[in-house]
Each structure stands twice: as C-alpha cells, then as structure tokens.
Amino acid sequence: MAQHFSLAACDVVGFDLDHTLCRYNLPESAPLIYNSFAQFLVKEKGYDKELLTVTPEDWDFCCKGLVLDLEDGTFIKLADNGTVLRASHGTKMMTPEAVAEAYGKKEWKHFMLDTGMPCRSGKYYFYDNYFDLPGALLCARVVDSLTKNSGQKTFDFWKDIVAGIQHNFKMSAFKENCGLYFPEIKRDPGKYLHSCPESVRKWLRQLKNAGKILLLITSSHSDYCKLLCKYILGDDFADLFDIVITNALKPGFFSHFPSQRPFCTLENDKEQETLPSLDKPGWYSQGNAVHLYELLKKMTGKPEPKVVYFGDSMHSDVFPARHYSNWETVLILEELRGEEGQKPEESEPLEKRGKYERPKAKPLNTLSNKWGSFFIDSISGQENTADSMVHTWSSKRISTYSTIAIPSIEAIAELPLDYKFTRFSSNNSKTAGYYPLVH
C-alpha cells in the first residue's frame, strides 16, 4: 500500500455528522446529555436524587476508550495486548495493587485479539464517543449509589439506561419533543453547536468542484439532521451533498446484508417504501453500504471507485467502513486538539465573564487526571521502569483501522486537495498517521 494518502485520489468523500461535520460545544452538550439520562432515572425509575448534582470536578472521570463491566460495575482501561492498565469501581479508582490482584497480567476476560472487539454486548459496554461519555460518568455514579445505599455487588441497572436512551433519543423524540435533549437543542442550538467556519464550507465546495461525489451518512434521524445542517452549514446545505443517508443505524449500515437493511424513501421525515436497490442520488433513510457502492460505481463510471469516510466513532464509523467496505477512513479525534482547541473567548479572564456564570465543566477532550492519556500509559506497578510505557487498546485500533486521524475537519480545510498525508501502516511508526503529527 502507498505510504501516503491524498483526497485528490478519492472519487467519493463521505462524512458522519455528529462530532464530525458538526462539532458540539462539549462543556454545554455533555451536561445536557447527562441530565437527560439522570432525570429519567430519578423521575421514572426511582434512583437516588444525588445523581442530579454534578460538580465540575466530576467530569474528570470521562475518558474515551473505557469499558464498563456490566456485571460488577467496574470500569477498565486496556493496553494494546488486552491487559488492564487502570480500573475503577464506580468512580472510585482502584490502586495499582488492587488492579494487579484483580486482573494480573492476563488478557481481560472479554478481550478478543482482533482489535474490532464489539462494543455492544450484554456483558460490557465500550465508551467510544462524546455522546457516550456523559453516560460513563452517570453509570459510574449509579454504581457508587447502589454500592453505598444497598451494598450491591452485581448490577442490573443497564436495562434502565437503555430505557433512558429510548425515551430521549427514539426516532420520534425530536418531533414529539420527548425527553430533555431535543427540546433543549431546538430551543438554543447556538449554545450547543459550533457552526462550520467558512474554511470548511469553502473546502466542501472545493471538493465538489473537483468532481468528488459528497456523501452524508448519519445515524441521526432526518429531522434532527436538518436542524444541525442548517445551523452549521446554512439553509442551502443539501446542495453540498449528492447523497444524504439518515437513520443509517451504523455500524449495521456497513456490516449487515442488503436484505437485512434496505434503503427507504423519505417524505416529511417519515420513512416510506423500501427500495430493492439504489438508483439515483438523493435523500434516503437506513440502507446498506453494498447498495450504496453499486450506485457510486454507476455515478463515477468506475468499477472500483475509491471512497474515504470521515467519522468520530471507531465502533460506528471507522472500524466498520474499513473492515466491511474497505474504504479509506479519517478519524476525527478531538483529543489531538490540545490547548489550541480553546476558542479565544473561552480563555478570557474569569472576572470578565458574567458574574453569575457557573463554573464550566472540564471539556471532555482534555486529559483525564484519573485515567491518564488516551494514547499511552504505564503498566500498573511499573511506573518508573524504562519499558513500562505501552500503547492503549484504543490507540492500537486507531493505527490499525484509520488511514489518518485529525483533530477536526477545520485542521485540514486549508490544505491543497492533493496534500500527501502519511498514512498509518505497519511500515511506519505507530504515530505516523496523526495530523498534525503527535510526538
């Protein structure tokens, strides 16, 4: 495989929407997601009211790449070989000695060597994106509460979390103003969303003018997708994309057979008839990558058009697009933003801000003191030895399944389309595919 990757060589450029084209204001969106679940648990399921109170310090618990063991309420961080680097019971971090005693140097019990370990299982849950992370904090605090109040050792709260997801995020929730999340985003989108800078809009038009086919593939339903796109790109956003696919139900969009997941037409945000195949560009719901690729062959006149897909989730976007469809993949990884990710107005002195403004939650894309780096960590109990640093399981998946990883689309929007990115590959260093390069 070539050592470099260039957008100029691609025929089709596809995008996920949430946390990819649409960046959220994380210090505002995270508490909203947290509260949408916490209020449901307290009001509908009788959980302790203390779940409703979150301090700015509590957010330090959030870190992408954690796995929750649903049976015993333990969160763990895995090394690239499947051993446990750090662990907590609820929000209470375990000492290195306790981690060594509980897990030793063996692979974690549910670990599979293939780095495509599924995220969804009845036994564990893998936290891999910013919609997930507030739920990690909530689940950890539920474990604390149940342990303290009833001495529980095993847990079955997950069914209530799933009911909370259904209540707040079911397909009809946006239209029905159900739950806390959608009504609040509708009320004040500017509080929660960053509109795309002009450089990104220009870049999208530049891709289109260069003859690229542009796709938008999102698991959000069409009504929410329209609200986001109008806010971030403007009323004429649909002109930028040749094909828009909403309610795509990723990763199933890539992994399911066409017969399991046909495309549907849409009318007034309602799914209509199912289609035996995809014949022309347009706006569709659900669907599958196989039928989409057949249409892309027709549209490009090429037997094997080259597709690149941008997404923020390893589980829903990057792993399935590479593994099942063999697409090039660009991972949006806000953890690469670092301090320069702050907007100038966010760094103004406190005394200049509103007198009554509450302290902001720590942005989720900053380093967690409890969990350490998303990318590398030291083997528990060997902190001071020269060879104790190892790559995390999350960073191994990134270098295995991503073509490149970038902090945001904005970070590459002003580069020429034929810019040659160094790709991740077994011949290059493990950090080669990060842009800008991680040292």
Cα separation, 380 vs 105, whole angstroms: 10
Which residues have a Cβ under 8 Å from the Cβ of 432 and sit 6 or more positions away?
A: 422, 423, 424, 425
Torsion angles phi and psi, residue 186, rounded to 5: -65, -40
Tell me the C-alpha distance between 22 and 196, whole Å. 7
Coil, helix or strand at residue 105: coil
Where helices occur in 195-261 by DSSP H, the ranges are 198-209, 222-233, 252-255
Q: Of the candidates 181, 157, 148, which has an alpha carbon nearest to the alpha carbon of residue 69? A: 157
Q: Tell me which residues are annotated as active site.
A: 16, 18
379 in helix, strand or coil? coil
Other residues' Cβ atoms within 10 Å of the Cβ of residue 20? 23
DSSP, residue by residue, 324-389: TT--EEEEE-GGG-GGGGS-GGGGS-GGGS-TTPPPPPPPTTSPBTTTB-SSEEEPTT-TTSTT-E
Which 3 state secondary structure label does DSSP give 86?
A: strand
Specify which residues 244 forms β-bridges with: 216, 283
